[in-house]
């Protein structure tokens, strides 16, 4: 069950913050320490991974594991570090976690190797990194939509 106090209620966008890369690095090290040899890769994804665009100040992390069936037994380790374990949370084959007790700062979207969601997320990020004009247009659209729909995160 989702804690209503944890659910994002307002769309908050901010200018790119270089500190997001450091938040990712710390989180990646925490995640690797939990997943150990099951972890293949950990990627920074989403808008916080794209310099010079506006983003929700929530770092999105994409760990890739060999075997997702062993991940649920590690939930208590994630919880010790302040993560809320949400299970698949609407995407089959994913394990979703967020970090916060009062204000979300980080999301983990964990997938098993070969999951199509991995490629989709990484292709989007790579495209935006290679095409600044599209990245800026995307940022403008996000800002405009957040003004029109300030309480609709979808």
Residue 8 has pLDDT above 50, yes or no: yes
In sequence order, the 6+-apart residues with CB closer than 8 A to the CB of 107 are: 46, 58, 59, 60, 61, 96, 97, 98, 99
Q: Which of 1-5, 51-55, 58-62 has the lowest mean pLDDT?
A: 1-5
Residue 6 has pLDDT above 70, yes or no: no
Q: How many CB atoms lie within 10 A of CB 55?
A: 21
Residue 143 is encoded by which pair of tokens? 């800002």
Residue 123 is encoded by which pair of tokens? 């292709």
Q: Are 121 and 45 in contact (CB under 8 A)?
A: yes
Assign 2 a pLDDT band (cuts: 50, 70, 90): very low
Assign 102 a pLDDT band (cuts: 50, 70, 90): confident
Q: Which of 2-11, 23-32, 46-55 has the lowest mean pLDDT?
A: 2-11
Query: What pLDDT sits at residue 15?
Result: 95
User: Of 25, 37, 34, which Cα lies nearest the Cα of 75?
Assistant: 34
Q: pTM for this structure? A: 0.90
């Amino acid at each position: 069950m989702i804690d209503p106090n944890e659910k994002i209620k307002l769309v908050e966008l901010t200018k790119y913050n270089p500190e997001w890369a450091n938040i990712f690095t710390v989180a990646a090290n925490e995640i690797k320490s939990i997943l150990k040899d099951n972890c293949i890769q950990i990627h920074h994804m989403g808008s916080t991974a794209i310099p010079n665009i506006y983003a929700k100040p929530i770092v999105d992390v994409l760990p890739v594991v060999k075997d997702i069936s062993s991940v649920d037994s590690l939930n208590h380790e994630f919880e010790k570090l302040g993560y809320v374990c949400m299970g698949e949370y609407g995407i089959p084959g994913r394990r979703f976690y967020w970090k916060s007790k009062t204000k979300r700062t980080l999301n983990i979207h964990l997938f098993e190797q070969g999951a199509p969601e991995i490629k989709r997320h990484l292709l989007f990020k790579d495209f935006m990194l290679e095409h600044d004009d599209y990245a800026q247009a995307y940022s403008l659209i996000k800002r405009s939509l957040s003004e029109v729909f300030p309480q609709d995160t979808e």
